Amino acid sequence: MKDRIDELREIINYHIDRYYNQDDPEITDYEYDMLMQELKKLEAEHPERITPDSPTQHVGGTAKREAGVLVRHRVPMLSLQDVFSKEEVMQFVESMQQQLDHPEFVVETKIDGLSMAIRYTDGVMTTAITRGDGIIQGEDVTENARVIKDVKKKLKHPIPYIEIRGEVYMTNEAFDAVNAKQELLGKKTFANPRNCAAGTLRQLDSKITKERNLSMFIFNIQETQGRTFTTHTEGYEYLKSNGVKVIENYQVCTTGEEVWEAIQKIGEQRGKLGYDIDGAVVKLNNLQDRVTVGETSKVPRWAVAYKYPPEEKETVLRDIELSVGRTGRITPTAIFDPIRLCGTSVSRATLHNQDFIDDLDIGIGDTIVVYKSGEIIPKIKSVVKEKRPTGTVRFQIPDRCPVCGAPAVREKETADIKCTGISCPAQKERHIINFVGRDAMDIKGFGENYIVELVRQGYLENVADIFTLKNYRDELIEKGLIGKEKNTDKLLTAIEESKKKEPQHLLAGLGIPNVGKATARELMQYFGSMEKLEAATVEDLEQVPDIGQISACSIYDFFADEDNRRLLEKMAAEGVKMETEVTSEGGVLTGKTFVVTGTLPTMGRKEATDKILQYGGKTAGSVSKKTDYVLAGENAGSKLTKAQQLGVPVITEEEFLDMIGEAHE
């Protein structure tokens, strides 16, 4: 039980950092909530195990220095206690009724955005501050707040001082416009409106914030001087009289059943709103009642947030598209009528393989139920059989490759159906696309369209040909295959620069089964060069951490193939780096695990991570007893606290550079 509590804390702290500090969550809010609920349950059963640093005991997030000046909170910006059932809602209502005389409740929408407080002195906006750590300080985002259309710079009916709190968010329309522009510029698109809003509010350039068209709803008055309010809704009326946009959908209730009906009503409107909500908030209306019941160090006792289950919708399957990957695997993709889920429009979802299709019993024309996994990836949950059109039959992947027409066969003991064509252009294209991608050589600007055209025009037969494209510069410009002269030269320069990358990037892009980015790094740290890796036996390969027999055989078979050897020789001849600067055998950090946190004086986190790997060390996302060092800068936050509690050595950037022999002069 002790191990599970520690494990949950480590997992939750990792995801808190991804959500609040990196604006890049890896799991859904629902999955996070389930982890937190499990931890709360275990701590309730073992109260002696509760510690001050547990994520159940404090508000998530840290304040980021790079977004601007840090500002101290005058009033804590606490999170809310989450509930997930009618029973829990009723328990909250009954608890308030037991402590108070005839309490009133306000039920309102919970916007999925980024919390921000705004301060006004004599009616003039002076400061805008993010939640930060929720207790001590947040980030000053005043200049960005000024360009949000919903933020009032001046109040019509001023009082000496007022601080209000609300949620900065993006409408679905604004989010779609931002992502369309990102795609046009060839930049990474945002996963969902919440991530985009959070990243935008923290921009150093307020022009970008203005362009992205953020919105804001106010949901609380934090503090006042010169005027008092009796109820939450009275405060809303005052704010509305000043032109301040408050939460749109709210209802005053007196009984548990009224509260539940209001929650259900908001839930029914969820898919019809022009913005994302992830729940409904139930709070006491009377402000003195709030003072009476008080708050914990993490949450107010006078409010809860009911979290709706993951969103799902029905739509009609119009087609099943077949694509061929770099290994020849045929993947079916469902094409359906566009629906909106978690703030984005979706019209495609993978069907994985024939087994998945059979299990669903799915056919073209079926009505299907689609949901989002991780609030990013759309998935098909089920088929609504009662809506199946007459004559609909289960889809069957054909026994011929949809690209080259070669026989397609199912591999033994797998669910994969693969093209057997040795010169299938789709496999070639996918292999090259993978090779230049972010997880391999990461050649900026080398888009899929260019690769497909270059393969079809005969310039790319394999990945090694990428490094000979410079020999055809004039032809490429004349034919406009990559664009005009400027664009062509830009891509050719990026290709030349990629030759300098550590060989782990090259290895990750070769398409060896079971060898991705992390495994490639382990292999190159162990062997140090492609030459030594080529000469390794299966037994040698099995000595590498996390390399089992299946992976070892795949790697050995790849390098035993003469065609693959010639491919590497060709790339080596073109100057592609084949040897690491420091092998794990001689690396001064060999066997050491580091966690990098905070803002370092001269290095970015990526640069620090690269140096750790270069000198044979490993990096982790969270601090544990297995961590050897925490490399900490300013505003290191919870990871620094965890290191100090566990007795893990904490080092500065200067100490780290001294450790690897690169100390500043």
Q: Which of 277-281, 324-328, 414-418 has the lowest mean pLDDT?
A: 324-328
Annotation: binding site: 29-33, 79-80, 108, 131, 167, 283, 307, 401, 404, 419, 424
What value does the CA radius of gyration of the chain take, rounded to a whole number of Å? 28
Distance between CA 332 and CA 428 in Å, rounded? 19
Residue identified by tokens 């995801």 is: 15
**Cα dist. 273→77, 109, 172 in Å?**
26, 11, 9
Nearest to 547 by CA among 565, 525, 580: 525
605 and 641 Cβ atoms separated by less than 8 Å: no
Phi then psi for residue 31, to 5 deg, are -65, -40
232 contact partners, CB below 8 Å, separation of at least 6? 106, 220, 221, 283, 284, 285, 286, 287
Q: What is the pLDDT of residue 263?
A: 96
Chain mean pLDDT for the chain: 86
Q: What is the pLDDT of residue 376?
A: 64
Is the pLDDT at 571 greater than 90, yes or no?
yes
pLDDT in tens, 321-340: 999 887 788 999 999 999 98
Q: Which of 39-48, 219-228, 455-464 has the lowest mean pLDDT?
A: 39-48
Distance between CA 472 and CA 462 in Å, rounded? 16
353 contact partners, CB below 8 Å, separation of at least 6? 331, 332, 397, 415, 416, 417
Nearest to 98 by CA among 297, 305, 292, 298: 292
Report the pLDDT averaged over residues 404-433.
Answer: 82
Architecture label for domain 425-498: Orthogonal Bundle (1.10)
Is the pLDDT at 59 greater than 80, yes or no?
no
Is the pLDDT at 99 greater than 90, yes or no?
yes
Distance between CA 5 and CA 321 in Å, rounded? 45
pLDDT in tens, 497-510: 999 999 999 999 99
Q: How many other CB atoms are found less than 10 A from the CB of residue 475?
A: 12
pLDDT in tens, 354-369: 999 999 999 999 999 9
Annotation: binding site for NAD(+): 29-33, 79-80, 108, 131, 167, 283, 307
**Cα dist. 71→135, 167, 191, 466, 639 in Å?**
11, 18, 29, 51, 21
Q: Which helix (H) or strand (E) holds 40?
A: helix 29-45
Q: What is the pLDDT of residue 406?
A: 82
Q: Where are the beta strands (DSSP E) in 90-206?
A: 105-111, 114-121, 124-130, 137-139, 161-169
Q: What is the pLDDT of residue 584?
A: 43
Q: What is the pLDDT of residue 422?
A: 62
Q: What is the pLDDT of residue 454?
A: 92
Total residue length of the chain: 665
609 and 629 Cβ atoms separated by less than 8 Å: no
Architecture label for domain 503-573: Orthogonal Bundle (1.10)
This prediction's pTM: 0.53
Report the pLDDT averaged over residues 99-117.
Answer: 95
Phi then psi for residue 211, to 5 deg, are -60, -30
Q: Which of 43-57, 93-107, 487-501, 525-539 has the lowest mean pLDDT?
A: 43-57
**Cα dist. 9→12, 30, 42 in Å?**
5, 17, 11
Could you tell me the sign of the dihedral formed by the alpha carbons of 630, 636, 638, 644, in that order?
positive
Contacts of 31-34 with CB under 8 Å at 24 or more apart are 31/374, 33/82, 33/84, 33/307
76 contact partners, CB below 8 Å, separation of at least 6? 59, 134, 135, 295
Burial string for 595-612 (b: 16+ CB within 10 Å, else e) reads bbbbebeebeeeebbebb
Choosing from 64, 110, 418, 639, the catalytic residue is: 110
Q: Where are the domains of the chain?
A: 2-49, 70-307, 312-418, 425-498, 503-573, 593-659
Distance between CA 430 and CA 3 in Å, rounded? 43
Is 625 catalytic? The answer is no
CATH superfamily of the 70-307 domain: DNA ligase/mRNA capping enzyme (3.30.470.30)
Annotation: binding site for Zn(2+): 401, 404, 419, 424
Band of pLDDT at residue 18, cut at 50, 70 and 90: low
Is the pLDDT at 468 greater than 50, yes or no?
yes
Q: What is the pLDDT of residue 423?
A: 67
Q: What is the pLDDT of residue 186?
A: 66
The HSE-up count of residue 123 (CA atoms within 13 Å, CB side) is: 10
Q: Tell me 270's DSSP state.
A: G
Q: What is the pLDDT of residue 585?
A: 47
Do the two domains 425-498 and 503-573 of this chain adopt the same fold? Answer: yes
pLDDT in tens, 614-660: 787 887 777 888 889 999 887 777 788 888 888 899 998 888 988 88
SS3 536: coil
Q: What is the pLDDT of residue 665?
A: 44
607 contact partners, CB below 8 Å, separation of at least 6? none
Class of domain 2-49: mainly alpha
Q: What is the pLDDT of residue 583?
A: 46
Q: Which of 234-243, 386-395, 436-445 has the lowest mean pLDDT?
A: 436-445
**Cα dist. 234→238, 368, 571, 575 in Å?**
6, 46, 72, 72
Q: What is the pLDDT of residue 22?
A: 52
Strand order in the sheet with 81-83: 81-83, 303-307, 277-284, 105-111, 250-253
Tell me whether strands 312-324 and 650-651 are parallel, antiparallel or unpaired: unpaired
Nearest to 435 by CA among 539, 516, 367: 516
- Secondary structure percentages of the chain, helix, strand, coil, to 5: 40, 20, 40
User: Would you identify the CATH topology of the domain 312-418?
Assistant: OB fold (Dihydrolipoamide Acetyltransferase, E2P) (2.40.50)
198 and 169 Cβ atoms separated by less than 8 Å: no
Tell me whether strands 377-383 and 312-324 are parallel, antiparallel or unpaired: unpaired
SS3 219: strand
- With 0-12 / 13-18 / 19 or more C-beta atoms within 10 angstroms meaning exposed / middle / buried, residue 85 is exposed
Q: Tell me 231's DSSP state.
A: B
pLDDT in tens, 238-270: 999 999 999 988 999 999 999 999 999 998 888
465 and 428 Cβ atoms separated by less than 8 Å: no
Q: What is the pLDDT of residue 25?
A: 61
CATH superfamily of the 593-659 domain: BRCT domain (3.40.50.10190)
Band of pLDDT at residue 586, cut at 50, 70 and 90: low
547 contact partners, CB below 8 Å, separation of at least 6? 519, 522, 523, 541, 555
